[in-house]
Amino acid sequence: MDAITLLKNDHKAVEQLFRRFEKAGDNAFVDKREIVDRIIEELSIHAAIEEQLFYPVARATVPGTEDIALESLEEHHIVKWVLSELVDLDPAAERFDAKVTVLIENVRHHVEEEETEFFPKVRAELGRKALSDLGEALAGAKNAAPTHPHPRAPDTPPGNAVVGTIAGVIDRVSDNLSGIAQGGVSAAQDLIATLLHTKKPKASPTGSTAARTKATSLRNAAATATAGVQETVSSTRSGATRTARAASAGTKGTITSAKRAAGATATSARRAATTTAETAKTATKQTASTAKRAASKTAAAAKQAR
């Protein structure tokens, strides 16, 4: 399926959900919750794949789409904020319906602009093959796309790259954008070069200069995306290492202080035992001498009495 058909199908699916919401009764809270949850999921995925692939590819390859792509990103941003507020809002809350109504108005306006101004430019510029490759990439990206709104997350490459997928996807699209021949030839040249252990031959002369320029700029975008991904991976790794070190230091600290505490307890227990024993001995001695004294007094008293 080509990219624009895929995106328009998403728009239709969301519009159907909007109509269902508009028809739902005032007190149909369970239905409204279910419909809004589906709207949240559909729009989150749709926005993500447009931001990861469709907008960057259009900006880099279709003249005159820079401004509309930037405006689209801002519209997505507002929509994601409203979606994020709807995630936890009780459908019985007095602001719920109003929020969904504003969401629907915003999305309808945005979809209208995409379908009448943005998509026609892209369709006119990119060939059928490129649109179909882009469509395939969009369909693939759906599987890895977030299903919840993240309005604070970056919405342009490389920040919005999904680790391990985006770089590959952009690379594939860039290969195919320059034409079937060049894409195929380039892949074949790479393979032959690898098998013969020779340097990669210069790019095939097939494909127009404009197409090759597009492909190059997309490959550069892919390289930037890859760099971003690598940065994320390495900072994640160093974060993990720091956490592991801190955890092991924490564990050692805990063990040491536990040992110290145990030692201290044993010592004070010993001390307490000694003190108790001494106290007991003293008390026993005292008791014995008191008893002796009492006994001799008793004996003396007995003698006198006789």
Whole-angstrom Cα distance, residue 204 to residue 216? 13
Radius of gyration of the CA atoms of the chain, in A: 38
| Residue 175 binds Fe ion, judged by CB under 5 A | no
Q: Could you tell me which stretch among 33-41, 99-107, 112-120, 225-233 binds Fe ion (CB under 5 A)?
A: 112-120
Q: Could you tell me which stretch among 109-117, 134-142, 207-215, 297-305 binds Fe ion (CB under 5 A)?
A: 109-117
CB of 110 to Fe ion, least distance (A): 6
Instruction: Name the residue nearer to Fe ion (CB basis): 86 or 138.
Output: 138
**Is 2 within 8 Å of 128 (Cβ atoms)?**
yes
Instruction: Name the residue nearer to Fe ion (CB basis): 50 or 133.
Output: 50
Q: Could you tell me which stretch among 42-50, 221-229, 240-248, 262-270 binds Fe ion (CB under 5 A)?
A: 42-50
Q: Could you tell me which stretch among 99-107, 110-118, 177-185, 293-301 binds Fe ion (CB under 5 A)?
A: 110-118
**155: helix, strand or coil:** coil
Contacts of Fe ion in 113-132 (CB under 5 A): 114
**Is 79 within 8 Å of 183 (Cβ atoms)?**
no
CB of 77 to Fe ion, least distance (A): 11
Instruction: Name the residue nearer to Fe ion (CB basis): 80 or 212.
Output: 80
3-23 and 128-144 helices, crossing angle to 10°: 50
Q: Could you tell me which stretch among 23-31, 49-57, 170-178, 217-225 binds Fe ion (CB under 5 A)?
A: 49-57
Q: How many alpha carbons lie under 13 Å from residue 98 in its C-beta half-sphere? A: 3
CA 143 vs CA 76, 131, 226: distances in Å: 20, 19, 19
Instruction: Name the residue nearer to Fe ion (CB basis): 122 or 170.
Output: 122
CB of 104 to Fe ion, least distance (A): 14
CB of 100 to Fe ion, least distance (A): 18
Q: How many residues does the chain have?
A: 306
Instruction: Name the residue nearer to Fe ion (CB basis): 28 or 102.
Output: 102
Which amino acid does the sequence have at 70? L
**Is 191 within 8 Å of 168 (Cβ atoms)?**
no
C-beta pairs of 167-172 under 8 Å, 24+ apart in sequence: 167/222, 167/225, 167/226, 167/229, 169/52, 169/53, 169/137, 169/140, 169/141, 170/53, 170/56, 170/57, 170/137, 170/218, 170/221, 170/222, 170/225, 171/219, 171/222, 172/133, 172/137
Instruction: Name the residue nearer to Fe ion (CB basis): 120 or 263.
Output: 120
CB of 153 to Fe ion, least distance (A): 16
Given candidates 50, 51, 133, 175, which one binds Fe ion under the rule CB under 5 A? 50
Instruction: Name the residue nearer to Fe ion (CB basis): 114 or 136.
Output: 114
Whole-angstrom Cα distance, residue 58 to residue 63? 8
Report the interface residues with Fe ion, using CB under 5 A.
Answer: 50, 114
